[in-house]
Amino acid sequence: MFVQSQNSAGQISHQQLRPGHTACQTDISSWADTQNSVKKVLEHLVYLGKATGDIFLNDAVAKKFLEFHRDITEECGAEEKQHSWAVIEKEEEIVMYGPYYPNYSKGIHSEDIIIQQTEELLESEEFSQQWKVYVFTMNSPCLARNTEPCMINLVQKAHAWWTAYGVKTHIGFVRCWGFRGTKETLFRDIDYGHVDCINQTGNHGDYVEAAKNRTNLNPLCENLRFAVKHLLTCADLSFPLMTTVQEQDWNSYFKKMHSIFECKPEGEKKVFAQKLDAAIEAARALLSAKSRSFDKHLEGGKAFPLHSTFAPQVSEALQDEMTLTFQHCWREMVQDKYADFLRGKLTEQFNQCAVQLFIKDIVKFTDRYLHIGRIKFSKEHMAAFEAE
């Protein structure tokens, strides 16, 4: 193919490049193989025990992004969901365009629109090496997709824009999306049974044997087990229940309690069922919004005086059965939400590691024309972004 480049006299010349000619193109091609890339990132995460440390934009570039972000927010309002906008900074003019939003039903990502708009603007103007392109995206560009991933596409476009127009591209993001973001499937099979086995064993062999002795528990591979083990020993694992348990989930955990009254006459059964529903609803007050440890959440269920709702209408034996069943249901709920929390933490670490490793792989080849990194926002901004 032919690309335009600028010579020392400021004139346009043409030179022929072979596909895959640059070292960067060769290096990022390995990331197009999602399966192997996921494996590489997991191995890297396991080897280091955590993500390698954040990759932030330098202060000068970050300051530009924050100024542009303020202008966009004043004009269009604040937004925490995925969106992208961009700026072409000329010597005496700034062109801002966006924000653009993804249309996933049509397979369109917000970065696709940014790329198209940027190319149209660059092609319509006389270029200058003093121009800069700033691309903001709430989530880092994706590394996996049915078509060309946004991250790879943007790196290639940045090289093309540098070669053709002499402009440097800066890409800033807030959250690390990795390959599939919150839909990452790598950790989806990890449940509390795996966590319990990992806690009770010291090495992978013992863990596999313990898992095989449990019903419906397929052992995790060694790297996944190690990632879970490291998280369990090195991270703050306090979590809130109130933000994770939806009403439908809550009710489903306590369905089995109704079976206690199956042997009662129909009239009594109806009365008991109504009282039980009221008691279970009252127990929702135990769902603290505060972050607590797994054990503290379990203790909360033990403290609920379920027997006071029914005494003296039911026998002491039945009260004991109700209490034990309630505590069993409560434990199952806490275990499930704990496992869900751990999967979320693992996904967050993995996504961060994926983005960091990708940037580390390409930075030595792209430094002249591309700068990618996270943007440091205020704590208030980051709290809002992370809540989303």
Rounded Cα distance, 84 and 112, in Å: 10
Residue 9: domain span? 2-184+351-387
Rounded Cα distance, 192 and 187, in Å: 12
> Tens digit of pLDDT for each residue in 111-168?
999 999 999 999 987 766 689 999 999 999 999 999 999 999 999 999 999 999 999 9
Instruction: Please give the residue that has the higher pLDDT: either 278 or 174.
Output: 174
Whether pLDDT at 338 is above 50: yes
In a domain, 309, yes or no: no
Instruction: Give pTM, 2 decimals.
Output: 0.85
In a domain, 62, yes or no: yes
Whether pLDDT at 263 is above 60: yes
Instruction: Please give the residue that has the higher pLDDT: either 385 or 5.
Output: 385
Residue 226 binned pLDDT confidence (cut-offs 50, 70, 90)? very high
In a domain, 376, yes or no: yes
In a domain, 14, yes or no: yes
Share of the chain above pLDDT 90, in %: 61
In a domain, 166, yes or no: yes
Instruction: Please give the residue that has the higher pLDDT: either 165 or 13.
Output: 165
CA 376 to mean position of chain CA atoms: 18
Residue 80 binned pLDDT confidence (cut-offs 50, 70, 90)? very high
| CB distance 133 to 161 below 8 Å | yes
Range with lowest mean pLDDT among 183-187, 309-313, 324-328: 309-313
Rounded Cα distance, 357 and 54, in Å: 10
In a domain, 325, yes or no: no
User: Cα-atom radius of gyration of the chain, to the nearest Å?
Assistant: 27
Note the pLDDT of residue 356.
Answer: 94
Whether pLDDT at 109 is above 50: yes
Instruction: Please give the residue that has the higher pLDDT: either 322 or 121.
Output: 121
Note the pLDDT of residue 37.
Answer: 96
Residue 11 binned pLDDT confidence (cut-offs 50, 70, 90)? very low
State the total domains in the chain.
Answer: 1
In a domain, 323, yes or no: no
Give the phi and the psi of residue 72 in degrees, each rounded to 5: -65, -40
Whether pLDDT at 100 is above 90: yes
Note the pLDDT of residue 250.
Answer: 78
Residue 386 binned pLDDT confidence (cut-offs 50, 70, 90)? low
Structure tokens of 7? 């010579």
Cis peptide before 19 (omega within 30 of 0): no
In a domain, 224, yes or no: no
In terms of DSSP bridges, do strands 2-6 and 168-175 run parallel, antiparallel, or are they unpaired? unpaired
